[in-house]
Amino acid sequence: MAKVAFLGLGVMGYPMAGFLQKAGHDVVVYNRTKAKADKWCTEHGGTSADTPAAAAANCDIVLACVGNDDDLRSIVTGENGAFSTMKSGALFIDHTTASAKVARELAEIGTAKGIGFVDAPVSGGQAGAESGQLAIMCGGSEADYAKAEPIMNAFAKAMVRMGDVGAGQLTKMANQICIAGIVQGMSEALNFAEKSGLDPKQVAGLVSQGAGGSWQLANRADTMVDRKFNYGFAVDWMRKDLGIALDTAKEVGVSLPITALVDQFYADVQQLGGSRWDTSSLIQRLRHMQGEDVK
């Protein structure tokens, strides 16, 4: 078992760190709001630290799951950042959904210090984190990935090394592009079914058994019909992720017309007060356009 630190105890990081402790690792946690770290320790054991640097000191592995590029830079290379105390030969595993650019930037700094780096964004949402059934998309050297894999097994359903550092983040962008298009299509289909006099739940149940099926349809259709949008991954976060994907697409010369359109649809949902609704709330935009009260 390893001595590990986990930085960032949000809706994803909190249960992920718990699975590491349950697996028998010696876990120290850091969270910007210390009360949450103390709560985690009460529930799971382990210890908490006041800074990323203090958490990372003497650890073999440091994992992180924070908000965005700037948050990541802050906990890694900022004042009291993890890299200031990580020992040569240690490994940093980043589960943040961030840009490939920041992954490569931090990996380069880490290499100069003898620290390995794996970018490892996850898919599966809050439910996947809480059940330990996440899909993990990894970028890094073969040696660093081999070192990271047994640690991440604590909360993974599947994981694949997609290439060198940055490849994990690029794969997560592809994941979010898929979700955006799927959820918009579902929103239109369910709204169409409802307005046509069909039972939209019955439609979803049947369609999910055929070529129109998807994880989103199987897990979110009923809650979309019931107007329940408190299932973890918020619209604000999705817009952050789609912004990264759109910026990267420009850099590599790729057109993402559907993604750009759905991103604007999510902006409309934010205007309706849905910033913290989950991503399936795109259907609320259609209902609002039809004159329904969605607030």
Torsion of CA 65, 140, 116, 152, to 10 degrees: 50
Distance CA 31, CA 36 (A): 7
Catalytic residue chosen out of the listed positions 34, 113, 172, 228: 172
Active site residue 172: yes
Q: Which long-range contacts (CB under 8 A, 24 or more apart) does 48-55 make?
A: 49/5, 51/80, 52/5, 52/7, 52/76, 52/80, 52/81, 52/82, 53/80, 53/81, 53/82, 53/84, 53/85, 54/30, 54/80, 54/85, 55/5, 55/6, 55/7, 55/28, 55/29, 55/30, 55/82
Count of Cβ atoms closer than 10 Å to residue 95 Cβ: 26
Residues annotated catalytic, as ranges: 172
